[in-house]
């Protein structure tokens, strides 16, 4: 019986990379929030007066981040920071809409037959292709709502299988926006959770 000692090591390295990425994202989010608070205090500005601009920025950043196939982007850090300062409903809508629209790049790459699947994603890609063949746009919706696999794989699979682009976008939007609502509202509540600890004894 042969064994492959590199496989467990590879999993550990992958988990370490994901933890470092998460830590970096949280630190970047905290840094952005700190910058916004300092900007408000130093220049005596009201951040709410820039709400519309903030929502546009969240939309564009989410779109660009989603459009980078398999390349981590700091868009979610900006979304999380915005969720602590502006209306979480509009932040979630802007982020979810931009995220869904940006996925059209992966869809188009799959549609025209671009071979950009790297070896580490090949097995997952085959699973997504099978799910998409069986369930169609429902598979797109499910993975958009519960991101068990990189969503770029779904775009590539849907494009390769010639799922109508409008069905792909609607399914992606219907999954990503509710998921973003959950994320944004959880982050929006963090200051309220921390309030008793910050002001305890004062």
- pLDDT reported for residue 84: 81
7, two tokens: 């496989």
- pLDDT reported for residue 199: 42
d(CA 69, CA 116): 9
- pLDDT reported for residue 132: 93
d(CA 11, CA 19): 12
Q: What pTM was estimated for this model as a whole?
A: 0.74
- pLDDT reported for residue 123: 85
CA angle 42, 43, 45 (to 5 degrees): 120
d(CA 115, CA 39): 45
- pLDDT reported for residue 41: 61
pLDDT mean by block of 10 residues, the chain; 202 residues: 54 61 60 60 62 88 80 73 86 93 91 70 87 93 88 90 94 95 80 46 44
Q: Report H helices in the chain.
A: 6-43, 51-67, 75-83, 88-102, 104-111, 119-135, 137-145, 151-160, 165-188, 190-198
165, two tokens: 């682009």
- pLDDT reported for residue 185: 85
d(CA 148, CA 6): 24
- pLDDT reported for residue 197: 43
Question: What is the per-residue burial (b if ≥16 Cβ within 10 Å, else e) of 147-161?
Answer: eeebbbbbbbbbbbb
- pLDDT reported for residue 6: 55
d(CA 79, CA 111): 30
């Amino acid at each position: 019986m042969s064994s492959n000692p590199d496989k467990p090591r590879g999993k550990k390295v992958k988990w370490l990379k994901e933890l470092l990425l998460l830590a970096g994202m949280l630190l970047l989010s905290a840094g952005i929030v700190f910058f916004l608070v300092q900007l408000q205090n130093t220049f005596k500005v009201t951040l709410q007066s820039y709400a519309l601009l903030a929502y546009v920025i969240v939309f564009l950043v989410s779109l660009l981040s989603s459009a980078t196939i398999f390349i981590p982007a700091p868009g979610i850090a900006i979304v999380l920071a915005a969720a602590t300062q502006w209306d979480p409903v509009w932040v979630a809508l802007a982020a979810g809409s931009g995220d869904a629209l940006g996925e059209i790049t992966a869809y188009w790459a799959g549609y025209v037959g671009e071979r950009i699947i790297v070896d580490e994603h090949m097995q997952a890609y085959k699973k997504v292709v099978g799910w998409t063949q069986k369930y169609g746009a429902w598979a797109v919706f499910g993975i958009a709502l519960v991101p068990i696999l990189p969503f770029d794989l779904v775009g590539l699979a849907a494009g390769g299988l010639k799922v109508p682009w409008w069905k792909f976008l609607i399914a992606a939007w219907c999954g990503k926006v509710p998921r973003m609502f959950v994320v944004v509202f959880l982050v929006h509540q963090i200051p309220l959770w921390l309030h008793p600890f910050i002001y305890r004894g004062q």
